[in-house]
Amino acid sequence: MPTVAHLVGSYVRELPHLEQFIQRDLVSFHRLARHLRPRLEAELGHEVEEGAVVMALSRLRDKMGERRAEQEGSPLWGKIRLSLREGAVEIDLQKTPGALAAAQQLQSLMKGGQDDIFSLVSGQYELTIITSSEYEKPFLAALRKEKLLHVERDLSLLYLQFPSELLYQPGFFDRTLSELAWENINVFELVSTLNEMILVLKSKDAARAYDLLRRKLKPAVAGKKKEE
């Protein structure tokens, strides 16, 4: 049978921004408790004291603080390397056997330079290609027989290179994305490999996102310049 604490935690996780407000101690627990009581009582089938809800919220905030302190105290976070690449475009296609075959041949059209950008993501029904802006026209020409869904231009890629051990620490992806969401920075696309997380952003947001994550995720290297 669910408890007040369990349900309160579930309700807060449904609203990521509420979790951020609680972490920053910007919420009146008594007002939030009054808001949550009807829902809690309906699910539990009995009256719930406001104090019990306040206590559950307080304990939840403490757990968030402990989790954040544990993350910030881990030496692995200090090993994250950030770099920013500008000039990218995203091409979205309907997935068919022909489209997949055509997309897999696109790299033959590229110069093979160190600065080339190419990522192919195959979903269940769609294909997403992220590449350097200079290849937009030849790629679209090569894909002209396929069903084009969308083209998004003026993109930048923010790379986070990290030790693979971070993948086994809960909260890495969540914390990175929530820091950006709190500052109203939209992540247009996310691509990951074993030791890299690649955030696709509109170019107007890229520099601000880089500076924010440099400060929030690895403050010890806040003075480093951007890697090219």
Q: Which of 8, 32, 10 is nearest to 21 (CA)?
A: 32
Percent of the chain residues past pLDDT 70, beyond the cut: 92
Q: Which of 218, 153, 206, 154 is nearest to 180 (CA)?
A: 206
Identity of the amino acid at 152: E
Residues 6+ apart with CB under 8 A from 30: 50, 54
pLDDT band at 71 (very low <50, low <70, confident <90, very high): low
Mean pLDDT over the full length of the chain = 87
Residue in the structure block whose two tokens are 């049978």? 1
70 touches 117 (CB < 8 A): no
State the pLDDT at residue 168.
82
Please check the confidence at residue 3 and state whether its pLDDT lies above 80: yes
Helix-helix angle 50-73:172-182, to 10 degrees = 110
- Summarised one tens digit per residue, pLDDT across range 4-36 is 999 998 888 887 678 878 888 888 999 999 999
- Summarised one tens digit per residue, pLDDT across range 109-122 is 998 877 889 999 99
Total residue length of the chain: 228
Write down the CATH number for the domain with range 77-221: 3.30.2130.10
Element housing 51 (H / E):
helix 50-73
Element housing 129 (H / E):
strand 126-132
Q: Tell me the C-alpha distance between 228 and 224, whole Å.
A: 12
pLDDT band at 65 (very low <50, low <70, confident <90, very high): confident
Q: Tell me the C-alpha distance between 109 and 127, whole Å.
A: 18
Average pLDDT over residues 159-171: 85
Please check the confidence at residue 148 and state whether its pLDDT lies above 70: yes
**Which of 58-62, 75-79, 125-129, 185-189 is least confident?**
75-79
User: Phi and psi dihedrals of 51, rounded to 5?
Assistant: -60, -35
User: Phi and psi dihedrals of 80, rounded to 5?
Assistant: -70, 135
State the pLDDT at residue 73.
65
Q: Where are the domains of the chain?
A: 4-73, 77-221
pLDDT band at 217 (very low <50, low <70, confident <90, very high): confident
105 touches 134 (CB < 8 A): no
Average pLDDT over residues 36-42: 91
State the pLDDT at residue 156.
97
Threshold 0.85, pTM exceeds:
no
